[in-house]
Chain A
């Protein structure tokens, strides 16, 4: 799958994106979430760690005072959700950034080097892709009692670059055989220049699509890990651990778990829709032949 629009055509891509209702809706949702999560905590009357009234306000139902009710420790759920949103999004973005960088470098190197190097590098990628990511993360993180956020990000990033490496390597090999690269080589361009100037622009499109979709995956993954207790550590909220806190009381106080859950679903949906929209904008599907 080659991107139809190389880096020079970004304006065309953005134009197509703007015309796609689904992408516009998705982007708006994401932007609103980001805004709320950034500004919200400053505006919220309660602190996310603040235990308000442990005798009376435990598991209070949602009301005008507490829009999303309170949790088992009488903390305001809404503020926790906002604060958790910040962390969850930050972790996802940073982890995806790391994955993308590693994956692109690995894929480019393997694809352009070819031969034995390529085979060995790809065997590693195969191995990585065969391991269920969750198991790998469990194994890495559960050994440590209080996982610091930077380590979480690092580990998430290190466990997720395989898919993109494979994608980039395939593109690199395809592009490498194409005429303009051969021409560049004939003009004396060295491998780094070829990689950077010629192959990379072609690869950027699919990489961007992949990264967008990866953000959704990582958010869910971090939430899952936090829910199990090995992701973001309390008292710092994360959508995952709020759900975890509420899981036991799912029958009596469902709002604790349901609220962050809906936020998760909304963000992942928006991210997936945006990714799809990007994919379409980069390589519009052809009309049926008549």
Chain B
């Protein structure tokens, strides 16, 4: 319990550092929404100054920071200039889409990746193992945006099966049946999820294979066989069960990269998620929105790794014990 509280606290500290750093860095860059977007001679400097003040973009970086921090503690992320709504609303609209995409992709990737890795370990060094191994090595080296392009090309252009982009079909009537709404959503999900799965399942499979091969050599597997357990039980209870930890830990560590990869994938498939939102915000110099997106991104990563750690603790009592020790020692 104590370890959990400590984790959450550390997570908050990390998010705070990230938010501050982003805030400062973004402010340091030249230009602001009003310089870029409105190149109209009728807008006098005085008017611009007035607008700046209205949007809280006047004063030194320090004052802006303090003002922003105060607002943040009230749950107010500021106003998004480019989308004319509170930052929190803009994010609230985009976040569920990203969660849907990433959630689906994660579930499938882990299921497929772990299955492949286990299959490889069971057929160690035989043809199956080598072929899958080569494929995962290949897949793990693919650049995300390029793969997204190739998948789009194949799925939407060459074989005109799937839609070209977006999350939903804008032409679908509101009165359409639930089934067709769900079907529509699924069709739009397929290509981006496939891309992400190809990208994520590969390293998962590699890690699972390595962890399992390691575990299969281990003494307690021999003890299990000496106790008379059937091979399947030995594999499942003694090898696989103890190999889960490293794989999940890997997942936790890879979260930032995942979120980053999702940005490119969302861009290619015009998926209306956080990635798109962040990219658009940056292009429009919409500071509050940019900072908001980065904070949410970091928070997602932190939450994800806490969840991963909790899961590992549940699965492996040694990890839980080590955690408790660290918490007690105040590390």
In the complex they form, whether A and B have CB atoms below 8 Å apart is answered with yes
A143-B282 CB under 8 A given contacts A134-B260, A135-B293, A288-B217: yes
B146 touches A130 (CB 8 A): no
Compute how far the CA of A243 lies from the CA of B149 in the bound complex, rounded to whole angstroms: 9
A250 in contact with B152 given A132-B257, A143-B29, A228-B267 (CB within 8 Å): yes
Flag the segment in B49-57, B62-70, B179-187, B294-302 that touches A: B294-302
Decide: A143 and B285 in contact? CB cutoff 8 A: yes
Q: Are A224 and B144 in contact (CB under 8 A)?
A: yes
Q: Are A250 and B149 in contact (CB under 8 A)?
A: yes
Bound Cα distance from A114 to B57, whole angstroms:
41
CB distance from A286 to the nearest CB of B (A): 9
B-side contacts of A139, CB under 8 Å = 22, 25-26, 282, 290, 294
A228 B153 Cβ-Cβ under 8 A: no
Knowing A127-B14, A135-B297 are in contact, say whether A144-B143 is a contact too (CB < 8 A). no
Q: Are B256 and A129 in contact (CB under 8 A)?
A: yes
Q: Does B34 contact A (CB under 8 A)?
A: no
A138 nearest in chain B by CB position: B282
Q: Does A1 contact B (CB under 8 A)?
A: no
Contacting residue for B153 out of A136, A138, A227, A251, CB 8 A: A251
When A130-B14, A143-B26 are in contact, do A272 and B150 touch as well, CB less than 8 Å?
no
Most buried by B among A127, A247, A261, A265: A127
Of the candidates B31, B138, B217, B294, the one whose C-beta lies within 8 Å of that of A289 is B217
**Distance to closest chain B CB from A145 (angstroms):** 8
| B18 A265 Cβ-Cβ under 8 A | no
A220/B144 in contact, CB under 8 A: yes
A265 touches B141 (CB 8 A): yes
- Output the nearest chain B residue to A289 by Cβ-Cβ distance: B217
* Contact present for A131 and B298 (CB under 8 Å): yes
Q: If A224-B145, A261-B146 touch, does A130 touch B153 (CB 8 Å cutoff)? A: no
Chain B residues in 8 Å Cβ range of A132? 256-260, 263, 297-298, 301
A123 within 8 A of B: yes
Measured in the bound complex, the distance between the Cα atoms of B260 and A220 in whole Å is 12
**Cβ-based interface call for B321 (8 A):** no
The chain B residue sitting closest to A143, CB to CB, is: B29
In Å, the complex CA distance between A126 and B305 comes to 12
Contact (A136, B294) CB under 8 Å given A127-B18, A228-B279: yes
Q: Does A38 contact B (CB under 8 A)?
A: no
Between A124, A138, A289, the greatest number of chain B beta carbons within 10 A of the residue's beta carbon is seen for A138
Query: Is A167 an interface residue when CB atoms closer than 8 A count as contact?
Result: no
Q: CB of B142 within 8 A of chain A?
A: yes
- B13-62 CB contacts (< 8 Å) to partner A: 13-15, 17-18, 21-22, 25-26, 29-31
Interface centre among A130, A140, A264 (most CB of B within 10 A): A130
For B149, give its contact among A127, A142, A144, A247 (CB under 8 Å).
A247
B30 and A143 contact, CB distance less than 8 A: yes
A247 to B141, CA, bound (A): 20
User: Do A264 and B143 touch across chains, with their CB atoms under 8 A apart?
Assistant: yes
Could you say which residues of chain B place their CB within 8 Å of the CB of A227?
Answer: 145, 264
- In this complex, the member of B29, B268, B282 whose beta carbon has the largest number of chain A beta carbons within 10 angstroms is B282
A273 touches B137 (CB 8 A): yes
**Within 8 Å of chain B (Cβ to Cβ): is A6?**
no
A234 CB to nearest B CB, Å: 17
Residues of B within 8 A of A127 (CB): 13-14, 17-18, 21
Q: Is residue A268 contacting chain B, with contact meaning CB distance below 8 A? A: yes
* B259: A residues at CB distance < 8 A: 132, 134-135
User: Per-position contact with A for B249-273: 1 when CB-CB < 8 Å, else 0?
Assistant: 0000000111111011001100000
Q: Contact at A224–B137, with CB atoms within 8 Å? A: no
What is the bound-complex CA distance between A136 and B302, given in angstroms?
A: 16
A window 251-282: CB within 8 A of B: 251, 254, 257-258, 261, 264-265, 268-269, 272-273
Counting CB contacts under 8 A, is B311 at the interface?
Answer: no
Measured between beta carbons, the chain A residues less than 8 angstroms from B21 are: 127
> How distant is the Cα of A265 from the Cα of B144 in the complex, in angstroms?
11
Residues of A within 8 A of B14 (CB): 123, 126-127, 130
Choose among A134, A223, A251 the residue with the greatest number of B CB atoms under 10 Å from its CB.
A134
In the bound complex, what is the Cα–Cα distance between A272 and B133 (angstroms)? 13
A216 at the interface (CB under 8 A from B): yes
Q: What are 24 inter-chain pairs, A to B, with CB distance below 8 A?
A: A123-B13, A127-B14, A127-B17, A130-B18, A130-B256, A130-B298, A130-B301, A131-B18, A132-B257, A132-B297, A134-B260, A135-B297, A140-B25, A142-B283, A223-B145, A223-B146, A227-B264, A228-B279, A250-B149, A250-B152, A265-B146, A268-B142, A268-B143, A272-B141
Q: B interface vs A, CB < 8 Å?
A: 10, 13-15, 17-18, 21-22, 25-26, 29-31, 137-138, 140-146, 149-150, 152-153, 157, 217, 256-261, 263-264, 267-268, 278-279, 282-283, 285, 290, 293-294, 297-298, 301-302, 305
Chain A: residues with CB nearer than 8 A to chain B?
Answer: 123-124, 126-127, 129-136, 138-140, 142-144, 216, 220, 223-224, 227-228, 243, 247, 250-251, 254, 257-258, 261, 264-265, 268-269, 272-273, 288-289
Q: Which 8 A-B pairs have the closest CB atoms?
A: A143-B29, A134-B260, A142-B282, A132-B260, A127-B17, A132-B259, A268-B141, A220-B143
